[in-house]
Each structure stands twice: as C-alpha cells, then as structure tokens.
C-alpha cells in the first residue's frame, strides 16, 4: 500500500509540474528572470555599500562621503519638490509608431491598444497585440485610465504579450511606470495594489477599490490573479507625477 501511495504521489507531482508550465506559458520564465536580477542587484548593492559603522562616526566635512556632500549642497539651493521631481524617460523608438507602456522595473514594453466598445471578444483579440486601454477610460494622464493585460496564456495561443502583466504583484509603492502617448512621455508612480474578486463571484470592481479622484490623474494596471487562474484580479494604482 505504501508503494502504491508513493507511486501515486510521484505521478501526481509530475502531472502537476507539467500542467503548471502549460498553464503559465511564459509567465514563469519572466518571474524567474526578475527574481534572478533582483538577487543580483541586492548583492551588488551590499558589495559596494558604504560601511555602516563609518556613518556613525562624525567626520569632518572634507572627509565625509561624497553622496552626503552632494545631498547637503543640493539642499542649500533646491526645494524638496524639485529634488523629488522624476526625470523624463527617454522615448523608445517603438513609441514613434504606437502608444506604449513601459515597466522599467522588469524591462517590459508593450503597445497600448485602444478599444472603443466593451466587447470581450474584441478585447481578447486585441490583447494578442499588446495591452488594452479599457473602453470608456480616459487617455492616460487626463483622468481615470485602466489598462489591462494578460498575466498568462497557453503557449500555443498567438501573440507576444501572453504574460506581459504576470509580474504586476511585484510592483511596490514608489516604483515608476512610463507611458508614451502620442510620443509624449508620462511618468506614473505606484501608490497601492489590491487583489479582489470581480463580479459575478464578488461584488468589487476596479472603481470601487480605487475610486476616481478629480484631483489626480490615475492609471490602473490590471490582470488576472493568481497567474494561470482567472478567478481574481490584481490591480495596481499609479498616479501621474510628471
């Protein structure tokens, strides 16, 4: 009996792993690449980080770390608001042909496709070409905008953007999102993220978890959650900062 149970568990595990890769398509490699780059960046920062015990010593200004001197000199001439102003991102060559969204944290770019009517068949068709500005949304930077994209899709499905939003849940407050709309660069900053159950299984919608605000230009990035399953949604709220 124990041998039969062991064999059953081994077969179940093999089937589970195979199905995991089939369902998630290219989403898992995206996640793995990001985690590897995240770990690499962490060790690089630790390797070149200024020794912490030296920061506790009161050094003469001439011997203080250069970054402290820079911060001190900037504060004499610049206001805090100017210091925090994000830099304008360079416009990618692709933006000359199409509206574009860029997630610099993951080195991901995708065309933004405009759909004029809330037709699910049409939306799914256009998602093969990039991400979709949800019908009825404002133009990014001019109000309340929702952009949706796939988190995963079967490997045999058409399109190069089957897992473009698979890493949405890895975004954190302060991370930046770039939108190039009619070649105009816009910078959005992540403010919050939530996972919710949409209608008809749940009562929440994008607008109820992140209500529109007339004082801010809001961009919501949304996809299915968890990756490979469509039962819930992950939504990331970003606000225009440049």
> Span 2-28, mean pLDDT?
61
pLDDT of residue 177: 98
Cβ-based neighbours of 134, under 8 Å, separated by 6 or more: 115, 118, 123, 145, 146, 147, 148
The proportion of the chain whose per-residue pLDDT surpasses 90, expressed as a percent, equals 51
The C-alpha angle 111, 183, 150, rounded to 5 degrees, equals 15
The domain spans of the chain are: 50-83, 86-240
**Helix or strand holding residue 23 (H, E):** helix 2-24
Cis amide bond preceding 212, omega within 30: no
Q: Which two tokens stand for residue 98?
A: 């199409």
Residue of 124, 113, 222 lying closest to 177 (CA atoms): 222
Cβ-based neighbours of 62, under 8 Å, separated by 6 or more: none
CATH H-level superfamily of 86-240 = Sortase (2.40.260.10)
Helix 2-24 vs helix 27-48: crossing angle, to nearest 10? 90
pLDDT of residue 2: 72
Average pLDDT of the chain to the nearest whole number: 80
Residue 82 pLDDT greater than 70, yes or no: no
Q: Are strands 218-225 and 144-148 parallel, antiparallel or unpaired?
A: parallel
Cβ count near 47 (within 10 Å) = 7
pLDDT tens string 129-173: 999 999 999 999 999 999 999 998 777 788 889 899 999 999 999
Residue 186 pLDDT greater than 80, yes or no: yes
pLDDT of residue 51: 54
Residue predicted with more confidence, 58 or 165: 165
User: Hunting for tokens 């996640």 — which residue is that?
Assistant: 31
pLDDT of residue 9: 72
Mean pLDDT is highest, among 16-20, 50-54, 68-72, 171-175, for 171-175
> Span 190-205, mean pLDDT?
92
Q: Place 94 in a pLDDT band, splitting at 50, 70 and 90.
A: very high
Q: pTM here?
A: 0.73
**Helix or strand holding residue 219 (H, E):** strand 218-225
Residue of 191, 161, 197, 194 lying closest to 177 (CA atoms): 191
Cβ-based neighbours of 197, under 8 Å, separated by 6 or more: 204, 231, 232, 233
- Determine the 3-state secondary structure of 86 from DSSP: coil
Residues constituting the chain: 242
Q: Place 229 in a pLDDT band, splitting at 50, 70 and 90.
A: confident
């Amino acid at each position: 009996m124990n041998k039969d149970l062991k064999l059953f568990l081994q077969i179940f595990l093999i089937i589970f792993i195979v199905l995991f890769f089939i369902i998630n398509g290219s989403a898992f490699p995206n996640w793995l690449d990001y985690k590897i780059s995240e770990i690499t960046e962490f060790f690089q920062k630790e390797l070149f980080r200024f020794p912490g015990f030296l920061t506790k010593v009161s050094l003469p200004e001439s011997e203080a770390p250069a970054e402290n001197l820079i911060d001190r000199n900037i504060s004499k001439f610049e206001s805090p608001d100017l210091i925090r102003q994000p830099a304008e991102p360079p416009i990618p060559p692709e933006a000359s042909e199409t509206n574009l969204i860029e997630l610099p944290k993951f080195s991901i770019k995708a065309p933004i496709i405009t759909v004029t009517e809330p037709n699910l068949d049409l939306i799914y068709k256009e998602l093969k070409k990039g991400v979709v500005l949800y019908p009825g949304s404002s133009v990014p930077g001019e109000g309340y905008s929702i952009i949706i994209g796939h988190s995963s899709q079967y490997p045999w499905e058409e399109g190069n953007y089957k897992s473009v939003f698979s890493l949405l849940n890895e975004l954190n407050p302060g991370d930046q999102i770039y939108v190039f709309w009619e070649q105009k660069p816009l910078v959005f900053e992540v403010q919050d993220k939530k996972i919710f159950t949409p209608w008809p299984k749940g009562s929440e919608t994008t607008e109820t978890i992140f209500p529109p605000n007339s004082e801010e230009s809001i961009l919501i990035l949304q996809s299915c959650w968890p990756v490979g399953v469509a039962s819930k949604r992950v939504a990331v709220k970003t606000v225009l900062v440049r």
